[in-house]
């Protein structure tokens, strides 16, 4: 018996397996939570302050999903100076959406969710009023 030939065949097959594994792993898309991960971590104390400001509010915004509509309802919404609502999809970064909150008269904003895949989304609501910043985060299913 010639074991040298089979050892060589086993080595070639193993090398082919490793090359295939490396190729598959390199093509895998990895979506990070944020592109500026380290800068966001350094500025996290500001985020803690925003969360504490939101906790101190008597009336917090309500985020309601009804069919293909996302509604943000908040009695003090008309006093908002600036704001931003982000929909973050952990499974697919291409489904992330961002909406601006504009100072309008009325207690609610409505946004269309048409065109988004069904699944879990993290709603990140950031707004400013009375020279303070606020932040609210909720999980919704669409």
Distance CA 103, CA 98 (A): 16
Q: Where are the alpha helices (DSSP H) in the chain?
A: 3-27, 37-42, 44-55
pLDDT at residue number 115 = 84
pLDDT of residue 77: 60
Based on the fold, state whether residues 82 and 57 are members of the same structural domain: yes
In this prediction, residue 139 carries a pLDDT of 92
The answer on 46 and 2 residing in a single domain is no
With beta carbons less than 8 A apart as the criterion, state whether 97 and 82 touch: no
| DSSP letters spanning 98-116 | EEEEP--SSSEEEEE-TTP
- Give me the average pLDDT of each 10-residue run along the chain (142 residues): 86 97 87 72 86 89 88 75 87 86 72 86 89 91 83
Same domain, 5 and 65: no
Question: What is the pLDDT at residue 50?
Answer: 92
> Measured on CA atoms in the order 44, 109, 118, 35, is the torsion positive or negative?
negative
Confidence at residue 1, expressed as pLDDT on a 0 to 100 scale: 59
On whether the CB atoms of residues 111 and 128 are closer than 8 A, the answer is no
We report the CATH number of the domain holding residue 45 as 2.60.40.10
Where in the sequence is the domain holding 4, given as residue range(s)? 1-30
Q: Which helix (H) or strand (E) holds 65?
A: strand 62-66
């Amino acid at each position: 018996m010639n074991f040298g030939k089979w050892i060589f065949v086993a080595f070639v097959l193993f090398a082919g397996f490793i090359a295939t594994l490396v190729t598959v792993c390199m093509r895998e898309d990895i979506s990070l939570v944020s592109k500026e991960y380290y800068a966001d971590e350094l500025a996290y104390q500001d985020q803690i302050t925003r969360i504490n400001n939101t906790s101190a509010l008597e009336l917090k915004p309500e985020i309601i999903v009804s069919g293909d509509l996302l509604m943000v309802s908040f009695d003090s919404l008309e006093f908002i100076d600036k704001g931003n609502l982000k929909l973050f999809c952990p499974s697919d970064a291409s489904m992330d959406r961002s909406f601006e909150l504009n100072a309008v008269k009325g207690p609610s904003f409505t946004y269309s969710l048409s065109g988004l895949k069904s699944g879990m989304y993290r709603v990140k609501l950031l707004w400013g009023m009375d020279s303070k910043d606020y932040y609210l985060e909720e999980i919704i299913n669409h």
